[in-house]
Amino acid sequence: MCRGGLIDRLINLVTLSMVAVPEFLVATLAVLIFAVKLNWLPALSYVSTVDSLGDAMKIYAMPVLTLCCVLIAQMARMTRAALIDQLDSPYVEMAQLKGVPPIRRVMRHALPNAVGPIANAVALSLSYLLGGVIIVETIFNYPGIASLMVDAVSNRDLSLVQACAMLFCGTYLVLVMLADICAILSNPRLRNR
């Protein structure tokens, strides 16, 4: 990876642009382009109309695209930052001095030690998706926990809002715990204490 090169700057520009665009704008543009202009995907779909795998892929294409757009950009930026941090460490420099090929330096030496921060970033980004699901389910009119929570807020059903919030909080705690376990298992320094 050539830091500061043309490809690196281009990837940084694209990922930063993707992170800066909010989900409701991505969802609105996806509906405008893929449903209205190109007529490839349905704007509003119901899960009960799914007859085959192709129908399911058509129905879920735009919501998944909307949710993953920001997530993929964040993961690319975090992976790049974690790998660059590890590539500047002394043990990778020693591997370079011993003549280890660049791809092996990245895959064998830098990446296992960078998995911890990447896993934590993935957990935080997946928890961020819980908030994005509310927007996506509202825009695409999908029945789910997030739209149930929006309806509960509209109807002032406090106990249902609290139950949905507890589900979101529990999911967040499980994601963070899994990220910590993944970081411990992937990093030899944390695993062999």
Burial pattern 127-143, b for ≥16 Cβ within 10 A else e, equals bbbbebbbbbbbbbebe
**pLDDT tens-digit map of 90-121:** 988 898 889 989 889 888 888 888 887 888 88
Closest by Cα among 116, 114, 120, 111 to 185: 116
CATH topology for 6-191 is: MetI-like fold (1.10.3720)
Distance, in Å, from the CA atom of 106 to the CA atom of 87, rounded to the nearest integer, reads: 7
Provide the sign of the torsion angle of the four alpha carbons 136, 138, 140, 144, taken in this order. Answer: positive
Percent of the chain with pLDDT strictly greater than 90: 9
Mean pLDDT of 155-182: 89
Residue-range domain boundaries for the chain: 6-191
Q: Please say if the pLDDT value at position 156 is more than 90.
A: yes
Most confident of 76-85, 111-120, 132-141: 76-85
**pLDDT tens-digit map of 1-59:** 567 778 878 888 888 888 888 878 888 888 899 888 998 888 776 667 677 888 888 88
Amino acid at 77: R
